[in-house]
Structure 1
């Protein structure tokens, strides 16, 4: 039987260039990452997601790839990548990598060949037009930064399409030779031991296929899964697909397309709920979550490497979130999102940060953690666009924080110079030795979550907590039942969980060893949640009857 390991995984996402610099050049590398896997292992994560590490001009943090079969020399060699993979395997950590094939860098030899010879081997590998389309200014991904999706190339004398920046030309996925090359890329990295891929910009990959006569664009996802299963049966596809819930069937199929999809709409409801101190937006969304195939899964997250995209909220709702977490224009991005880290958005309040993590871990799906959030790192809003949340990891409180021996002005990104979120106050070394630290709290929550397989495998049932500030969820799977409660308000709340437990059951507190709750003779069982409090309870049948 195939192991659907991702159903109960905890994924830790990182940028190699920001994790640890082993050779003093100011840029993180695979040797430094391999030497610091103990931090990820100690946290309790089970899988590492690597952002792009391939050779690149690096105009978009490596998402502008110039060679799909190598490692950027700044990060090391292909041999050092293999050493890292072995080190991860030795610790029981799986690794997934970014598959960025919607576009390549215009510096890629394929694009250079395509612009030089329209009739050559690579002439049709990109999307070209002799005339600039009338809608060239529509559909830009980065409003305020990107002006068009079509740019004129003087050498070829035609316009090329780029859904993203003009230095990232879209590959022509409608060309069978391009699709064959994508499989070759996947096969290469699978042969080096990766356990799957995070597909960048998945919906945009399918756009070109709409012009292939008789082809359902979403059927291409089944082709990718079929190839993946043939090469490595237990590998998975995790897609960046900001879709609405009525599109879920198209992307999951009958279990033959994508394995995991980021639940972007849920993330937006989370921040709306945080802003209001009211769980209603999340509860309402979860009640209408569509059924997905058994092998399918949602990915839940609080923060990632991009902006927090609020584009699917109503204008008034988006304004609420902006007012709460990004009131200054410098904190906002692309007219739709926030470019801030989690901890400063939540005011550095560790109660609230921990509650947020606990809530995310309790939601139906596979949790994904952005590096540094487990210790409460901050941001640097002086950096451009999304660089603000991609600061070097803060390892200790000495010197410049332990990321690199180089002068910080030569680091891959400049850290915060001062304030409560600098390495002097927020660092991994200190927190790993303090039992009450944010790291230790999240470490314990992850340990409890990994023991509650019901959450990863079942649908969440939303229960009435009697107070809109509280989200109460029940997860049931193979005879096991887990009850979680989260208070999003800055006030204590008392909840009667008697009905949720039932007359013939009792609840064991998973966060406080030995704690036990059971309804009284009237069927009531009162539970007090402090401000931003939370509880994880396992329900078992009573043995005293």
Structure 2
């Protein structure tokens, strides 16, 4: 049986006043005043696709009624706070819904507007917030706007897209999907012009230099806020605001568009979340957050994600430590979102070639596991293939200085289907139980196969099987969610990476008013002893509030077994 995560035993640690010279981490800083609080600072976000979550009408595809019926699982069993929905608008489905033909409607296969409203109402009743992917950079080539634009150069919609009379010199630069995509400028036979598409050639980019396009984007966002959404994950933010005529690879950007978006959505709902997909450098972050936090209020930390996987591959936390320090500065009201997996490939483009190859060798050695000349298209469980390391990685995720984001199915360790095209490998239907099609649908055939063979088949990996098993990954993730909510200092406090006597140990301290928490993770597969500077623990006793299950009783209190971890509460001796 798994040892309970919330121990209350007091333990003591050896402390050193100096450290070995090889320790390469930041110096200890004095606590600073706590940060302003916002609702999203300590939320747990859960990402899903309606189509792959739960089918209610037995047509083989998930729908809003099916999702509504599973809200008890999300709110009560898992304890998450925010549901992030992938696109659910009408689409030809050439890019799994990211090629939209009507931004104001719902794909009828997923339900009606009334059923969407019923889902939103039930989510709110259960205390859940809902955000959606806002795909504003481009439309489907089948969108009525583009069809009007290509067929008539005098149409108002013609200037809604980006055109060139001649083939640009950089027609094959700045592609999002290298190895699959061949160009960013493609000739349209009907328009007799080249059109710009940052993504696939069936996804023409909208022209945000046109004020009419900006107004329409704001109208789209306000439409869904009025329908009950609490915010948006803005898809491909740098590409929404880039200016293609200034170059495909290093274009100029219209950051004023982000300011206008934030201002407009907050006029409708001051608590609106704008979570940006912006894989940018540390020096660019301020442009996306805004100097005073007046643009995006949250962004994914892609750089830390890439360095995390490199650290795991190397069994060395230093790359992650440096990444966190490099991206530490941000406006006070803004927040980082951290994740292990999402709906796309693990993007390793910001690693060096050698670093990327190291991650490939460790986590995606086969060619069909790799994608776009930069990433890995696998789910976490089969990729890591080590239960102890999986748990350590999730403990780390929930203890990083930001908001944790969890991908559906990761809480039970779902596998991937590498026979599917590109990123669909990690978008298979949710596995609820051991019945036919994993309880996802009672139709004869699902629209996309549930994983039904091997060790990750639904008969072996499913919610029902893990729900009552205290040693299961699901039980552990539930424990992590509770632990995170018990320690809001992680999301709203200040933090420092603190030195230890082992280069394999990653330790980070959080402080919020009178609360202090230290989380300690061993990146090595072998046991490691660790000690803190005595200034950190003087005047405190230390309670272990979370650790890996079944800790080795032969280890010392200041020793972590391979891939072990502990969350340590510092309690003043005066209390």
TM-score class, shorter: over 0.9
User: What is aligned with 1:298?
Assistant: 336
Change (3 A) 1:125 1:419: same
Superposed, which structure 2 residues align to 1:405-416 within 5 Å? 405-407=442-444, 410-416=445-451
Instruction: Give, in whole Å, the separation in 2 of the partners of 1:324 and 1:169.
Output: 37
Instruction: Give, in whole Å, the separation in 2 of the partners of 1:366 and 1:415.
Output: 30
Q: Structure 1 residue 209: deviation in Å? A: 8.5
Change (3 A) 1:210 1:118: closer
Deviates more, 1:5-14 or 1:453-462: 453-462
263, 275, 278: which one aligns with 1:238? 275
Determine helix, strand or coil for the equivalent of 1:170.
Answer: coil
Superposed, which structure 2 residues align to 1:303-318 within 5 Å? 303-318=341-356
Q: Structure 1 residue 134: deviation in Å? A: 1.4
Task: In structure 2, list runs of 5 or more residues that go unmatched.
Answer: 1-35, 247-251, 549-555
Instruction: Give, in whole Å, the separation in 2 of the partners of 1:26 and 1:468.
Output: 50
Instruction: Give, in whole Å, the separation in 2 of the partners of 1:339 and 1:489.
Output: 25
Superposed, which structure 2 residues align to 1:376-395 within 5 Å? 376-395=413-432
Q: Structure 1 residue 116: deviation in Å? A: 1.6
Instruction: Give, in whole Å, the separation in 1 of the partners of 2:242 and 2:515.
Output: 43
Instruction: Give, in whole Å, the separation in 2 of the partners of 1:532 and 1:74.
Output: 44
Determine helix, strand or coil for the equivalent of 2:404.
Answer: strand
8, 32, 38: which one aligns with 2:72? 38
2:41 counterpart of 1:7? yes
Instruction: Give, in whole Å, the separation in 2 of the partners of 1:115 and 1:448.
Output: 54
User: What is aligned with 2:50?
Assistant: 16
User: What is aligned with 1:522?
Assistant: none
310, 314, 319: which one aligns with 1:276? 314
Instruction: Give, in whole Å, the separation in 2 of the partners of 1:188 and 1:294.
Output: 29
User: What is aligned with 1:266?
Assistant: 304
User: What is aligned with 1:134?
Assistant: 169
Task: In structure 1, list runs of 5 or more residues that go unmatched.
Answer: 514-524
Instruction: Give, in whole Å, the separation in 2 of the partners of 1:381 and 1:341.
Output: 10
Q: Structure 1 residue 216: deviation in Å? A: 6.7
220, 242, 254: which one aligns with 1:185? 220
Query: After TM superposition, which residue ranges in structure 1, 4 or more long, deviate above 4 angstroms?
Result: none
Q: Structure 1 residue 499: deviation in Å? A: 2.6
2:565 counterpart of 1:534? yes
Instruction: Give, in whole Å, the separation in 1 of the partners of 2:303 and 2:562.
Output: 26
CA contact (8 A) 2:131 2:231 kept: yes
Instruction: Give, in whole Å, the separation in 1 of the partners of 2:319 and 2:103.
Output: 41
Determine helix, strand or coil for the equivalent of 1:18.
Answer: helix
2:209 counterpart of 1:150? no
465, 473, 479: which one aligns with 1:430? 465
Deviates more, 1:375-384 or 1:78-87: 78-87
Determine helix, strand or coil for the equivalent of 2:542.
Answer: strand
User: What is aligned with 1:331?
Assistant: 369
Determine helix, strand or coil for the equivalent of 2:146.
Answer: helix
Instruction: Give, in whole Å, the separation in 1 of the partners of 2:361 and 2:390.
Output: 18
Change (3 A) 1:130 1:66: same
2:286 counterpart of 1:252? no
CA contact (8 A) 1:229 1:235 kept: yes
Q: Provide Cα deviations, 1:157-181, integer angstroms capped at 9, x if missing partner.
A: 1111100001001011110001001
Instruction: Give, in whole Å, the separation in 1 of the partners of 2:501 and 2:377.
Output: 35
Determine helix, strand or coil for the equivalent of 1:249.
Answer: helix
Instruction: Give, in whole Å, the separation in 2 of the partners of 1:341 and 1:209.
Output: 34
Q: Provide Cα deviations, 1:461-506, integer angstroms capped at 9, x if missing partner.
A: 1111211221100011222111100112111122124636422011
Change (3 A) 1:459 1:312: farther
Q: Structure 1 residue 543: deviation in Å? A: 3.1
Question: Which structure carries more relative contact order (alpha carbon 8 Å, separation 6+)?
Answer: 2
Deviates more, 1:110-119 or 1:96-105: 110-119
CA contact (8 A) 1:501 1:539 kept: no
Instruction: Give, in whole Å, the separation in 2 of the partners of 1:339 and 1:63.
Output: 18
CA contact (8 A) 2:37 2:492 kept: no
Change (3 A) 1:372 1:412: same
Instruction: Give, in whole Å, the separation in 1 of the partners of 2:79 and 2:451.
Output: 28
Determine helix, strand or coil for the equivalent of 1:510.
Answer: strand
User: What is aligned with 2:388?
Assistant: 351
Instruction: Give, in whole Å, the separation in 2 of the partners of 1:119 and 1:108.
Output: 18
Deviates more, 1:229-238 or 1:148-157: 148-157
Instruction: Give, in whole Å, the separation in 1 of the partners of 2:458 and 2:87.
Output: 26
